[in-house]
Amino acid sequence: MKYRNIVFDLYGTLIDIRTDEEDPAFWDKTAAFYTSKGAPYNGRELRETYLSLVREEKEYAADPLYPEADLRKVFSNLYRKKNTCAGEELLNETAGFFRVASLIRLGLYPGVRELLDFLHGQGCRLFLLSNAQRCFTMRELEICGIKEDFEKIYLSSDHLCCKPSPRFFEILFRENGIRRDETLMIGNDWLADMQGAYDAGFSGIYIHQAISPPVTGRLRALFAVNDGDAFRILDYLRKNG
């Protein structure tokens, strides 16, 4: 294959995930959890404080145009505001509860396992570059059985910036010494993934899923799958990769 390095987005590309953080019942349950750990909140107070802390964390982001927060710090500060000190174990438990309480769906899209196996068989190096939180994502990669498929995993929460930030893409190239003309991005977001890769000097394949944002600009993709069928990416790479 021409493309020796394949960079994947995660949610909406490999993993089908649906969460609901708008439901007041979610915040009531999470507030009850915090209260049980010595940090009394009601649902409305918790939601407002959480969103305020996320905004504050993003003020310290590595890229002010595409900022990211580390939610572990937000969870910790929610305890601190109630004069409670949260250790690593409690923060892990809190992150797990927060995610599970909001989760509606989690699983691989059809064709993803076959696509990953094909690329491994071609000797490709696989990387993950995702706008995601480590405190959620590493567990979900294990649940979906694809954590070990990637040589390296890059998550926005670790670097305090997110796609399409050029800074985020440059970390990948700088740390791995890979050539841009041998690198391919596969993602479901026309701006974060396709435009981001284009601006970073390499090519992309776009796949549109139900959770993809609407395409409102020029789609910078070698190939576009508009029906969410990952098997079509596999067919394309067999013929053109």
Question: Mind listing the pLDDT tens digit for each residue in 154-200?
Answer: 999 999 999 999 999 999 999 999 999 999 999 999 999 999 999 99
Q: What is the pLDDT of residues 192-210, one digit of tens each?
A: 999 999 999 999 999 999 9
Q: What token pair was written down for 77?
A: 């500060």
Tell whether the model's pLDDT for residue 106 goes beyond 90: yes
Residue 186, classed as helix, strand or coil, is strand
The string of DSSP codes covering 64-113 is TTSB---HHHHHHHHHHTTT----HHHHHHHHHHHHHHHEEEEEEPTTHH
What is the C-alpha radius of gyration for the chain, rounded to an integer number of angstroms? 19
Q: What is the pLDDT of residues 21-61, one digit of tens each?
A: 999 999 999 999 999 999 999 999 999 999 999 999 999 99
Type of residue found at 36: S
pLDDT over 90 at 126, yes or no: yes
pLDDT at residue number 115: 98
Q: Report whether 133 contacts 194 (CB < 8 A).
A: no
Counting beta carbons within 10 angstroms of the beta carbon of residue 170, is it exposed (0 to 12), middle (13 to 18) or buried (19 or more)? exposed
Residue 168 and residue 220: Cα distance in Å, rounded? 18
Q: Residues 205-223: what's their mean pLDDT?
A: 97
Cβ 224 vs Cβ 46: under 8 Å: no
pLDDT for the residue numbered 167: 96
The structure's pTM equals 0.95
